Amino acid sequence: MEPKRYTRKRNELLNYLPRTLTAEQITEAKKKAVCALTGSADDVTLDHFIPLEWGHGGEYIGNIYFIQRKLNASKSNWNPFKWIKKLALTGHVDMKRWDQLVLSLAAQNGLNVKEFRRFVNWCEKNKRSKDQLMADNRPSLELWMKLQNHHP
Protein backbone atom coordinates (compact mmCIF):
# COMPACT_ATOMS: atom_id res chain seq x y z
CA MET A 1 0.00 0.00 0.00
CA GLU A 2 1.40 3.41 -0.89
CA PRO A 3 2.42 5.57 2.13
CA LYS A 4 -0.26 8.30 1.83
CA ARG A 5 -3.05 5.78 1.35
CA TYR A 6 -1.74 3.70 4.24
CA THR A 7 -1.61 6.77 6.53
CA ARG A 8 -5.12 7.88 5.54
CA LYS A 9 -6.58 4.42 6.20
CA ARG A 10 -4.74 4.19 9.50
CA ASN A 11 -5.96 7.61 10.64
CA GLU A 12 -9.54 6.81 9.61
CA LEU A 13 -9.45 3.63 11.70
CA LEU A 14 -7.92 5.47 14.66
CA ASN A 15 -10.96 7.77 14.71
CA TYR A 16 -13.13 4.77 15.66
CA LEU A 17 -10.71 2.99 18.00
CA PRO A 18 -10.18 3.73 21.70
CA ARG A 19 -8.01 6.80 22.14
CA THR A 20 -7.53 7.72 25.77
CA LEU A 21 -4.16 9.44 25.49
CA THR A 22 -3.95 13.06 24.39
CA ALA A 23 -1.32 14.39 22.02
CA GLU A 24 0.09 16.37 24.95
CA GLN A 25 0.45 13.24 27.09
CA ILE A 26 2.23 11.44 24.27
CA THR A 27 4.54 14.41 23.62
CA GLU A 28 5.40 14.62 27.32
CA ALA A 29 6.06 10.87 27.54
CA LYS A 30 8.28 11.00 24.46
CA LYS A 31 10.62 13.47 26.17
CA LYS A 32 11.83 10.72 28.51
CA ALA A 33 11.14 7.73 26.26
CA VAL A 34 13.56 4.94 25.54
CA CYS A 35 13.12 2.08 23.13
CA ALA A 36 11.34 -0.78 24.89
CA LEU A 37 13.49 -3.31 23.02
CA THR A 38 16.95 -1.76 23.03
CA GLY A 39 16.97 0.78 25.86
CA SER A 40 18.24 3.47 23.49
CA ALA A 41 16.79 7.00 23.63
CA ASP A 42 17.89 7.70 20.05
CA ASP A 43 15.17 8.32 17.46
CA VAL A 44 12.27 6.72 19.34
CA THR A 45 8.71 6.84 18.17
CA LEU A 46 5.35 5.61 19.37
CA ASP A 47 4.25 2.17 18.23
CA HIS A 48 0.91 0.41 18.51
CA PHE A 49 1.47 -3.18 19.61
CA ILE A 50 -1.76 -4.22 17.89
CA PRO A 51 -1.48 -2.46 14.52
CA LEU A 52 -4.18 0.11 13.83
CA GLU A 53 -4.54 -1.25 10.31
CA TRP A 54 -6.14 -4.36 11.80
CA GLY A 55 -9.08 -2.28 13.06
CA HIS A 56 -8.23 -3.22 16.63
CA GLY A 57 -6.21 -1.75 19.44
CA GLY A 58 -6.05 2.00 19.55
CA GLU A 59 -4.08 4.67 21.36
CA TYR A 60 -4.31 3.72 25.02
CA ILE A 61 -2.09 2.41 27.78
CA GLY A 62 -1.87 -1.30 27.08
CA ASN A 63 -1.36 -0.94 23.34
CA ILE A 64 1.35 1.67 22.94
CA TYR A 65 5.04 1.77 23.70
CA PHE A 66 8.11 3.55 22.42
CA ILE A 67 10.50 1.92 20.00
CA GLN A 68 13.32 3.05 17.72
CA ARG A 69 12.03 4.30 14.39
CA LYS A 70 13.95 1.70 12.36
CA LEU A 71 12.43 -1.12 14.43
CA ASN A 72 8.97 0.41 14.11
CA ALA A 73 9.37 0.55 10.34
CA SER A 74 10.37 -3.11 10.24
CA LYS A 75 7.36 -4.08 12.36
CA SER A 76 4.87 -2.15 10.24
CA ASN A 77 1.54 -4.01 10.50
CA TRP A 78 3.04 -7.42 11.34
CA ASN A 79 1.75 -9.52 14.19
CA PRO A 80 4.27 -8.50 16.89
CA PHE A 81 4.74 -12.09 18.04
CA LYS A 82 5.69 -13.19 14.52
CA TRP A 83 7.79 -10.07 13.95
CA ILE A 84 9.88 -10.56 17.08
CA LYS A 85 10.77 -14.13 16.06
CA LYS A 86 12.20 -12.79 12.82
CA LEU A 87 13.88 -9.87 14.56
CA ALA A 88 15.38 -12.00 17.34
CA LEU A 89 17.53 -13.76 14.76
CA THR A 90 19.28 -10.46 13.95
CA GLY A 91 20.40 -9.79 17.52
CA HIS A 92 19.18 -6.17 17.34
CA VAL A 93 16.87 -6.47 20.33
CA ASP A 94 17.15 -7.55 23.94
CA MET A 95 14.72 -10.45 24.33
CA LYS A 96 14.51 -9.86 28.09
CA ARG A 97 13.19 -6.40 27.26
CA TRP A 98 10.68 -7.98 24.86
CA ASP A 99 9.47 -10.32 27.59
CA GLN A 100 9.11 -7.37 29.99
CA LEU A 101 7.17 -5.37 27.38
CA VAL A 102 4.74 -8.22 26.74
CA LEU A 103 4.30 -8.84 30.46
CA SER A 104 3.63 -5.14 31.05
CA LEU A 105 1.14 -4.78 28.17
CA ALA A 106 -0.65 -7.97 29.20
CA ALA A 107 -1.01 -6.68 32.78
CA GLN A 108 -2.22 -3.27 31.54
CA ASN A 109 -4.96 -5.15 29.69
CA GLY A 110 -5.81 -7.27 32.73
CA LEU A 111 -4.51 -10.42 31.06
CA ASN A 112 -1.70 -12.87 31.63
CA VAL A 113 0.88 -13.32 28.86
CA LYS A 114 -0.81 -16.40 27.37
CA GLU A 115 -4.18 -14.64 27.22
CA PHE A 116 -2.59 -11.51 25.76
CA ARG A 117 -0.96 -13.54 23.00
CA ARG A 118 -4.32 -15.19 22.20
CA PHE A 119 -5.99 -11.77 22.17
CA VAL A 120 -3.42 -10.30 19.78
CA ASN A 121 -3.68 -13.34 17.49
CA TRP A 122 -7.49 -13.07 17.54
CA CYS A 123 -7.21 -9.40 16.51
CA GLU A 124 -5.02 -10.38 13.56
CA LYS A 125 -7.45 -13.10 12.43
CA ASN A 126 -10.54 -10.90 12.87
CA LYS A 127 -9.53 -7.61 11.29
CA ARG A 128 -12.20 -4.91 11.21
CA SER A 129 -12.88 -2.39 8.48
CA LYS A 130 -13.89 1.22 8.98
CA ASP A 131 -17.51 0.23 8.21
CA GLN A 132 -17.40 -2.52 10.82
CA LEU A 133 -15.97 -0.10 13.37
CA MET A 134 -18.66 2.45 12.55
CA ALA A 135 -21.33 -0.19 13.16
CA ASP A 136 -19.76 -1.46 16.41
CA ASN A 137 -16.79 0.36 17.85
CA ARG A 138 -16.64 -1.47 21.16
CA PRO A 139 -13.06 -1.94 22.30
CA SER A 140 -11.41 -5.04 20.88
CA LEU A 141 -10.64 -6.41 24.31
CA GLU A 142 -14.32 -6.20 25.23
CA LEU A 143 -15.30 -8.12 22.08
CA TRP A 144 -12.65 -10.77 22.67
CA MET A 145 -13.55 -11.17 26.36
CA LYS A 146 -17.21 -11.65 25.44
CA LEU A 147 -16.23 -14.42 23.04
CA GLN A 148 -14.07 -16.06 25.71
CA ASN A 149 -17.05 -16.19 28.07
CA HIS A 150 -19.13 -17.94 25.40
CA HIS A 151 -16.33 -20.22 24.15
CA PRO A 152 -13.94 -21.09 26.99
Total number of domains constituting the chain:
1
Question: For the segment 18-41, what is each residue's pLDDT rounded down to a tens digit?
Answer: 899 888 998 889 899 999 999 999
CB burial of residue 150 (10 Å; 0-12, 13-18, 19+): exposed
Task: Note whether 48 and 76 are within 8 A (CB).
Answer: no
> What predicted TM-score, i.e. pTM, was given to this entire model?
0.89
Q: Look up the domain containing 83 and give its range.
A: 3-150
Question: For the segment 102-131, what is each residue's pLDDT rounded down to a tens digit?
Answer: 999 999 999 999 999 999 999 999 999 999
What confidence tier does 6 reach under pLDDT thresholds 50, 70, 90?
low
